[in-house]
Amino acid sequence: MENKQREYLFDNYKVLLIVLVVIGHFIEPCYDQNPFLYELKWGIVAFHMPAFIFISGYFSKKIPSVKKLIGGLVIPYFVYEVIYYLLYTFVLDKETELYFTRPKFTLWYLMALCVWRLAAPVVRRIPYHMPITLAAGLAVGLVGIGNFLSIPRILFFFPFFLAGMEFDSVWLARFRNRQGYMGALGILGILAVSLFADDYHHRLSVKVFYGRYSYEELGLSPAEGILVRVVCYAISFLMIYLFMLVLPSKKKSYSYLGERTMAVYIFHGLIYSCFKYRSTILGSVRSNGESILLILFCIALVWAVSRKPFVRLTEKIAHLV
Q: Which residues contact 73 (CB under 8 A, 6 or more apart)?
A: 110, 111, 113, 114, 117
Tell me the per-residue pLDDT of 66-109, one tens digit each, with 9 for 90 and over. Answer: 888 898 899 999 999 999 999 999 999 888 888 888 899 899 99
Q: What percent of the chain has pLDDT over 90?
A: 83
CA 244 to chain centre: 16
Question: Exposed, middle or buried, 201 (CB in 10 Å: 0-12/13-18/19+)?
Answer: middle
Average pLDDT over the chain, rounded to an integer: 93
pLDDT at 3 over 80: no
Q: Are 41 and 31 in contact (CB under 8 A)?
A: yes
Smallest CA-to-CA distance from 262 within 126, 70, 72, 103 is with 72
Say what the pLDDT of residue 170 is.
85
Say what the pLDDT of residue 169 is.
85
Q: Are 313 and 270 in contact (CB under 8 A)?
A: no
Q: Are 130 and 159 in contact (CB under 8 A)?
A: yes
What secondary structure does DSSP assign to 160-212, as a single string?
A: HHHHHHH--GGGGTTT-SHHHHHHHHHHHHHHHHHHHH-SGGGGS-GGGGTS-
Q: Which residues contact 97 (CB under 8 A, 6 or more apart)?
A: 85
Q: Are 31 and 38 in contact (CB under 8 A)?
A: yes
Q: What is the pTM of this model?
A: 0.94
Q: Which residues contact 272 (CB under 8 A, 6 or more apart)?
A: 22, 25, 26, 105
Say what the pLDDT of residue 95 is.
85
**If pLDDT is split at 50, 70 and 90, which confidence band does 2 have?**
very low
Q: What gap in Å lies between CA 137 and CA 158, rounded to an integer?
A: 8
Q: Which long-range contacts (CB under 8 A, 24 or more apart) does 181-184 make?
A: 181/245, 181/246, 183/245, 184/242, 184/243, 184/245, 184/246
**If pLDDT is split at 50, 70 and 90, which confidence band does 319 have?**
confident
Q: Which residues contact 159 (CB under 8 A, 6 or more apart)?
A: 130, 133, 134, 137, 233
